[in-house]
Amino acid sequence: MVSEYKNILFKVIHLRSIIGYNSLVFALKKTPLIGDLIPDKLYSTTFLKVIYWIFHVIVEVFKLFIGKIFGLGLIYLAAFLLSDQYIEHEMVHGVSRSTMYGNLGLFFFLIYAFCGILIRVPYFNCTTEKEYLVFMLRMDAKKLNETLIYYDLAKLFIGYVMTGVFAVITGAPFWLWLGIPVLAILVKFIGIGLQLLSFKIKDKHHKSLRINVVAYLIRLALVLLAGPFLIVFVANGYYIPMPQMAVITGLTVLAGIWGFTEFRRSGSYLHRRVLHDNIGKEEVKSTSQYDNTKSFKKIKAKGTVKGDKKGFEYLNALFVKRHWTMLCMKPVIFTVIVAAVMIFFTAEFIYGYYSRFGSDNCWNMVISNIINFFTFRGFSDALLPVDYDPAFEFFRYVAQSHLLGLLIPLSIADNSFKNTQAMFINCDNSLMTFSFFKQRDKIIKLFDIRLKQLIKINLGPVISLGLFADLILFVTGGQSYPGEYLVTIIIAFLLSVMTSVTWLALYYLFQPFTTSVIAKGGAYRITSIIIYSAAAIIVWVPMVSYILAPVLLVITAGYVFFMRNRVYKLAPKTWKIKA
Amino acid sequence: MEFVISHLVKSYGSKQVLKDVDFVFEEGKIYGLLGRNGSGKTTFFNCVNGDINYNSGSFYFRDDKDPEVKTELQPQDIGYLVSTPTVPEFMTGREFLKFFLEVHEDIKPDKTIDEYFDYMVVPEDDRDRLLKDYSHGTKNKMQMLLNIIASPKLMLLDEPLTSLDVIIAEEMKNVIRSQKQGKITIFSTHLLDVAVDLCDEIVLLHNGRLEPIDKNDLGDAAFKDKIINALRDADDGQ
């Protein structure tokens, strides 16, 4: 039996090592600049494989301790420090420090184990090597799971025993040192037993055996909710007396034995089905190369384009109509949030005014200031004085001289990158196979239409952020020169145009997407990084709005012209499906 | 008109997929491009269609009467039918066809949209459904229909009959046959029977080179063995 487990374990580790090594070489070969220099021979270089295998073993050993030190190590540390405090402040009577150490250590461990990490068992996820072994090489699924579970529990036991050495040195009782590792294994079996029981029930009712992460999230939420109570409990010097603690531990042991029995009784069929229904979960997590086109496939079939739109105008109008949620939801949500924040602050201010000066004064203030706003004057406190706030000066300075900072919220609201992904996966990817789509004049025609569309989609955030800045100006004294409110909105608009044209032109000049919408291509990434870096510097440049607006207008016009020109010249060659 | 490929070379890293491809295709013929899996048929098409860069070589049209008259290949000269048809899924078949006709201002359609659908035997109840809901075969037909309307000089058909049912495959074959006049059609497949059935000429893509096969042997019983032997690598078992 042991030799069988050993054989299986050897196969798994060997396969993991091969998959890891080959994935590493593959990733290197796909890396820009250095990728072309890496020969295919690297896949079969034994020397490097051995080095990778040694590295793999070191990582395994590292993983053996790191979790334990951070988890159990912290528990022992807390128990050590608190038991000292309990004894020093005479919060407990007739209990030795060592027993208190053990009691608190056990208490924290049980909370950690049940609510947190230990009870969660990832053994039923179908990793790549499990998929190969069970579904291609026809290995017995239960034997494989059994081997991996015992291997993991052995690592857990060793890690906990070694971590426990520090506890014993700092005065923990011996039963805690050996008891916690055993209890940890039993808690794991409770998790395994519960998971298998749920699979059995689902299987009986012919339901999918997908692992439910909701239960885990609920447990995490419970831990977070229980945290404050736990702190209060401990801070007040409370503790669960030893007899009660023994009963809880005894029940845990019994439940663990049940879990183990449940695990032993489970059949190979169930394990195979579970693995089958959870294929790709780990793969997805580790590589993120899952099919992320699904979110782009939610196309609404409703409606059509009315009016006299033809050709590319017609194509674009249809595209927007059938992808409205995907394209516009983010900017709309952003606009609503900004509007809600403005309304909240305004309402809060009015309410404060009302509480202090009464309804008549408040009403007069509101009316006079609505008039003031529309006549481009500042906020009036003529009726009754409002407290001077030094923060006003700062916000006014920002709203007048740091409007380039609007690039930050505008970039957050901007959905152009996702828009280009949707354009590629649901439209261009297919039309690129037709020759007309690659003709220079047609490319630029569609580019112009799309640029206008992206600018339109971003109008909500532009106006809301512009008004937000205007509101700050208004409250802090009104506009300094005629038309400042309008200029602020124009600046937001121009920045948004720059953002839109950047993403769209980058898409046309580098076409980075694969058919699974993953952005690849070194040049695209490097250019994006350069643009981001430049933007990160630009947002800090102070410039008063009446100078910024004309400067920005010229720069934006030049930038759009330049990008459009690049697209016109280069896109027939660059805008294509990645082979 | 002839389509000339001159010294085309394409490599992926150290692997040379196309080695000095040199060939002349003639107007009005369907060429069966036959090759094993992974022999580079799709790479060849992608090079011609400009979807991927190639290392060296050139292609152009040549006047068959005056070989000195050469014309550069333009995107609109090529119709490319890929094996896995991709269509803009957010449009209905009718909307797609309407859009296609509108952007091709130079084309004067001789049929109404429904007549085009009838020609390609696209079922009536499919015409106003989103393309994403079309079957593989109907998507293929749509792709073919658009290429027929655009009427390019060079048609590249990359295994268009793969995974089609017998009825649709037969309908497609008839359409391809009826469209061959006035253009050069290159039809790639790894199925020998399909190539023999449909094509006027057979060209082998083997070891990165195009090799013509004598068309007079098409009906010959030994022809199949001859092609299999030609495609077999030296390290393949006999």
Rounded average pLDDT over A464-486: 88
Interface test with A, best of B11, B103, B155, B158 (most A CBs within 10 A): B103
Rounded average pLDDT over B3-24: 87
Q: How far is CA A304 from the centre of its chain?
A: 36
Q: What is the pTM of this model?
A: 0.66
Chain A residue nearest residue B157, CA to CA: A433
* B150/A579 Cβ within 8 A: no
Interface test with B, best of A31, A304, A323, A433 (most B CBs within 10 A): A433
CATH of the domain at B188: 3.40.50.300
Rounded distance between C-alpha atoms, residue A25 and residue B13, angstroms? 15
Decide: residue B80, CB within 10 A, 0-12 exposed, 13-18 middle, 19+ buried: buried
Contacts of A310 in chain B (CB under 8 A): 102
Structure tokens at B152: 């390019």
Interface test with B, best of A300, A308, A430 (most B CBs within 10 A): A430
Residue B26 lies in a domain: yes
Contacts of B150 in chain A (CB under 8 A): 434-436
Question: What's the pLDDT at A238?
Answer: 78
* A442/B103 Cβ within 8 A: yes
Rounded distance between C-alpha atoms, residue A128 and residue A500, angstroms? 40
Rounded distance between C-alpha atoms, residue B120 and residue B157, angstroms? 16
Give per-residue pLDDT as tens, A87-113. 887 777 777 888 889 988 998 888 888
With 60 as the cut, is the pLDDT of residue A469 above it? Answer: yes
Structure tokens at A81: 């420090």
With 80 as the cut, is the pLDDT of residue A119 above it? Answer: no
Candidates B90, B103, B129; nearest CB to A426: B90
Chain A residue nearest residue B75, CA to CA: A435
Candidates B52, B75, B152; nearest CB to A438: B75
- Per the structure, the complete domain to which residue B168 belongs is given by 2-231
Candidates A311, A427, A579; nearest CB to B46: A579
Ranked by mean pLDDT, which of A14-28, A561-575, B215-229 comes out on top? A561-575
* CA of B91 vs chain A CAs: smallest distance (Å): 7
* B79/A318 Cβ within 8 A: no
Every domain of chain A and the residues it spans: 2-287, 311-574
Q: What domain count does chain B have?
A: 1
* B146/A311 Cβ within 8 A: no
Q: Mean pLDDT, chain A, as a whole number?
A: 84
Whether B141 and B122 have beta carbons less than 8 Å apart is answered as yes
Locate tokens 């099919």: which residue?
A291
Sign of CA dihedral B139, B144, B145, B150: positive
Whether A384 and A363 have beta carbons less than 8 Å apart is answered as no
User: What confidence category does residue A499 fall into, taking pLDDT thresholds of 50, 70 and 90?
Assistant: very high
Q: What share of chain B is helix, strand, coil (3-state, %, to 5)?
A: 35, 30, 40
Candidates A318, A432, A579; nearest CB to B90: A318
Ranked by mean pLDDT, which of A233-247, A296-310, B20-34 comes out on top? B20-34
Type of residue at A573: K
Q: Beta-carbon neighbour count of residue A248 at 10 Å?
A: 14
Distances (CA, A) of A421 to A279, A510, B89: 27, 13, 14
Give per-residue pLDDT as tens, A173-208. 989 988 999 999 999 999 899 889 988 898 888 787
Question: What's the pLDDT at A295?
Answer: 65
Residue B236 lies in a domain: no
Rounded average pLDDT over A515-542: 80
Does residue A311 come out as left (phi exceeding 0), alpha (psi in the -120 to 50 range) or beta? left
With 80 as the cut, is the pLDDT of residue A227 above it? Answer: no
Give per-residue pLDDT as tens, A435-444. 788 888 999 9
Question: What's the pLDDT at A569?
Answer: 92
Give per-residue pLDDT as tens, B44-103. 998 888 878 888 988 899 887 887 888 888 878 888 888 788 888 888 999 899 888 888
* A439/B76 Cβ within 8 A: yes
The secondary structure of residue A378, as a DSSP letter, is P
Question: What's the pLDDT at A70?
Answer: 77
User: What confidence category does residue A492 fall into, taking pLDDT thresholds of 50, 70 and 90?
Assistant: very high
* B86/A430 Cβ within 8 A: yes
Contacts of B82 in chain A (CB under 8 A): 433
CB pairs under 8 A between A and B: 85
**What percentage of chain B carries pLDDT values higher than 70?**
94
* B104/A436 Cβ within 8 A: yes
* CA of A126 vs chain B CAs: smallest distance (Å): 30
Contacts of B49 in chain A (CB under 8 A): 435
Candidates A40, A426, A435; nearest CB to B88: A426
**What percentage of chain B carries pLDDT values higher than 90?**
9
The alpha carbons of chain B give a radius of gyration, in whole angstroms, of 18
User: What confidence category does residue A288 fall into, taking pLDDT thresholds of 50, 70 and 90?
Assistant: very low
Contacts of A39 (CB under 8 A, 6+ apart): B13, B14
Greater model confidence, A456 or B160: A456
With 60 as the cut, is the pLDDT of residue B203 above it? Answer: yes
With 60 as the cut, is the pLDDT of residue A383 above it? Answer: no
* A312/B88 Cβ within 8 A: no
